[in-house]
Amino acid sequence: MRIGVPKEIKVHEYRVGLVPAGVRELTARGHTVLVETGAGVGIGIADADYRAAGAEIATDAEEVFAKAELIVKVKEPQAEERKRLRENLVLFTYLHLAPDAEQTRDLVAGGATCIAYETVTSPKGGLPLLAPMSEVAGRMSIQAGAHCLEKEKGGRGVLLGGVPGVDPAKVVILGGGVVGSNAALVALGMGAEVVVLDRDIDVLRILVNQFGTRLKTAFSTHAAIETHIVNADVVVGGVLVPGAAAPKLVTEAMVRAMAPGSVVVDVAIDQGGCFETSRPTTHAEPTYIVGGVIHYCVANMPGAVARSSTFALTNATLPFVAALADKGVKRALADDRHLASGLNVHRGQITCAGVAEALDYPFVEPEKALAA
């Protein structure tokens, strides 16, 4: 199979779909890998490194999309990339379609087969291709929150961990999954007072067993959220409904009740965000203010640590890329129901229930769409 790796073009996105080790693995299996020139330069990987691993170097993205049968990316295709999609092309990347009607419309019109990293499942019920970036984003959320708390950035001027005789900052984390647990790890390590809210008591038990009684937990209700965030210095939104739009857990009124200079970090922004006041931002302009509260809502947070993120992502995606290339898309999806969970769009049909519901499209079971 001919596998294409274009250079990412989203603002300040330096990650890349495959590293040279992944290229070497695929070419050893007899596949051709076409990498756009400069695709890895943002993380210190030169064209020569890809060539040494067996890749061919394309002069531009147009060549990659035209020649490839399988496109492996990181971020959702941007408008100019979506124009290059066609039938019989397989796109494997993060999509986050539920809050993105424009992208969904273009993917449906393009006729390509689009498999989303974020909805591929695992036998244990997890999201193995979302997990590595959720780990990164969860840890980064505390770094971002601590930075935004600084007075120079418009924050309250509070040190996250405090000092002897001075209280630490209060960090409230919505959701105790991968994002939440990694945010708690860093926040506790920095000495903050940390509260995690979740609707699953078993999740809260696991967190207490992991971190001990230093971590405070609360069952997530509207009242509990309101009680805890009113006096929070940093609130991290880490709630995810796979494939669907994130629930709006924090109202605008709650945000406006927070102290001026406090910070919200909405890691769920890729799926629409879990604060009513959230809107996507970029690494170029990461924050804005509503009601005196700083909002950090960067939609590709792990892109800021692009090298670490790229290697972590390739470790997770490579087995699935190899399966798609070795078997072809139909057999690979038929053989692995967990990979099939990642199928969001196939030849103009929406095959992810969460996306169909969020954007009011007819839902077609993946098996039926592929059979047709």
Token couple for 317: 């995606």
Q: Is 206 helix (H, G, I), strand (E, B) or coil?
A: helix
Catalytic option among 100, 266, 270, 336 = 270
Q: Is-contact 40 8, C-beta < 8 A?
A: no
- Residue 134 has φ and ψ, to the nearest 5°, of -70, -35
Q: Is 96 a catalytic residue?
A: yes
Break the chain down into helix, strand, coil percent, rounded to 5: 45, 20, 40
The DSSP code sequence of 92-154 is: EE----TT-HHHHHHHHHH--EEEEGGG---TTS--TTTHHHHHHHHHHHHHHHHHHTSGGGT
Q: Is-contact 107 116, C-beta < 8 A?
A: no
Distances (CA, A) of 193 to 118, 153, 213, 242: 31, 22, 11, 29
Amino acid identity of 83? K
Catalytic option among 96, 295, 338, 346 = 96
Kind of pairing between the strands at 2-5 and 113-116 = unpaired
Helix locations, 149-273, DSSP H: 178-189, 201-211, 222-229, 252-257
Token couple for 12: 């300040």
Q: Which of 111, 342, 122 is nearest to 243 (CA)?
A: 342
Q: What residues are annotated to the active site?
A: 96, 270
